[in-house]
Amino acid sequence: MNTGKLYLVGLGPGDAGHLTPAAAAAIADSDELVGYHYYIEQVAGDVAGKVSHAMELGQELERAALAVDIAYSGKTVAVVSSGDAGIYGMAGPVFRVLTDRQWDGEYPAVETVPGVSALQSAAALLGSPLMQDFCAISLSNLLTPWEQIRRRLEAAAAGDFVTVLYNPRSRRRVSQLQEAREIYLEHRSSDTPVGIVRHAFRPEQAVSLADLGGLDGERLGVDMFTTVVIGNSNTYVHNGRMVTPRGYEVKG
């Protein structure tokens, strides 16, 4: 009988104070860790004496395959993601590999340990932007065709959802955020508040507010470590905080 175990661990935004006790316990219980090198470094103080496999961005399936191999060998392995492992994290690649290998659902055991997601971290720093219906959309078209992402953006903009944009801009992907802005301007006022949070709860943290008309990714320093929050028709700014009222009250 295989005694191996896979933990899918969300590390939260990066600050040790936002690592949940359950996540810390899973890491402590593991023989080995697998993850993007930046995330392995986040918990370096907690993994002394453990075998760590640090890999690069773009190697998600390779990380997942390695972790599954380790678990099938009878060891306990933690696959770490920033934020929550189930939100644009490593839970998906790991379950894909398990599916491809005809996993029986029992051995190795799999436990997902939730973490504080990027959208929660960004919202906490901005004020209260997520008080009405909201959605999260990744602008990365590495795994999803851009036309499909555009359809999701158009639907969210037309539906007046507060929208959290993950992976908004990288060195190679510089046009997607601009296109998203143009889509939202077809449905929302140019003065709609937008929150920009980079490296939430890390030493490099930067939080700023803009409006939809002035959403310029290059000027605002938007990159892969940034979460962008576009308000809905009721969102406003008060004393530097982004606020979406709990219901659709009439303002003024």
Residue where a domain stops, chosen among 70, 88, 116:
116
Q: Does residue 34 sit in helix, strand or coil?
A: strand
Note whether 235 and 210 are same-domain residues: yes
Quickly tell me which residue has 């901005």 as its tokens. 126
What is the band of 252 on the pLDDT scale with cuts at 50, 70, 90?
Answer: very low
Note whether 90 and 147 are same-domain residues: no
Note whether 124 and 233 are same-domain residues: yes
Q: What is the pLDDT of residues 101-117, one digit of tens each?
A: 999 999 999 999 999 99
Domain with 222 in it: 119-243
47: pLDDT strictly greater than 80: no
209: pLDDT strictly greater than 80: yes
Note whether 24 and 87 are same-domain residues: yes
Note whether 67 and 139 are same-domain residues: no
Q: What is the pLDDT of residues 1-32, one digit of tens each?
A: 678 999 999 999 988 889 999 999 999 999 99
Residue where a domain stops, chosen among 98, 116, 134:
116
Q: What is the pLDDT of residues 150-200, one digit of tens each?
A: 999 999 999 999 999 999 998 888 899 999 999 999 999 999 999 999 999
Note whether 144 and 98 are same-domain residues: no
What separation, in Å, do the N-terminal and C-terminal C-alpha atoms of the chain show? 67
Q: Whole-angstrom Cα distance, residue 111 to residue 48?
A: 22
Note whether 9 and 107 are same-domain residues: yes
CATH number of domain containing 233? 3.30.950.10
Note whether 144 and 111 are same-domain residues: no
Helix (H) / strand (E) element for 178: namely helix 176-185
**Cα 185–chain centre separation:** 25
Helix axes 60-72, 91-100, angle to 10 degrees: 60
252 part of a folded domain: no
The torsion region of residue 88 among left (phi > 0), alpha (psi -120 to 50) and beta comes to left
251 part of a folded domain: no
Strands (DSSP E) contained in 155-234 are 162-166, 193-198, 206-211, 226-230
Tell me the percentage of the chain whose pLDDT exceeds 90: 80
The torsion region of residue 155 among left (phi > 0), alpha (psi -120 to 50) and beta comes to alpha
What is the band of 249 on the pLDDT scale with cuts at 50, 70, 90?
Answer: low
Q: Whole-angstrom Cα distance, residue 139 to residue 153?
A: 9
How many separate domains does the chain show? Answer: 2
Res 188: pLDDT? 96
Q: Whole-angstrom Cα distance, residue 175 to residue 173?
A: 6
**Do 236 and 243 meet the contact criterion of CB atoms below 8 Å apart?**
yes
Note whether 16 and 48 are same-domain residues: yes
Residue where a domain stops, chosen among 54, 86, 116:
116
69 part of a folded domain: yes
193 part of a folded domain: yes
The closest alpha carbon to 177, from 206, 135, 216, 148, belongs to: 216
> Measured over all CA atoms, what is the biggest interatomic distance in the chain, rounded to whole angstroms?
67
**Do 75 and 7 meet the contact criterion of CB atoms below 8 Å apart?**
no
Note whether 149 and 235 are same-domain residues: yes
Residues 6+ apart with CB under 8 A from 8: 79, 81, 85, 86, 89, 90, 91, 94, 110, 111, 112, 113
Q: What is the pLDDT of residues 69-96, one digit of tens each?
A: 999 999 999 999 999 999 999 999 999 9
- The first and second tokens of residue 57, run together, are 């961005």
CATH number of domain containing 72? 3.40.1010.10
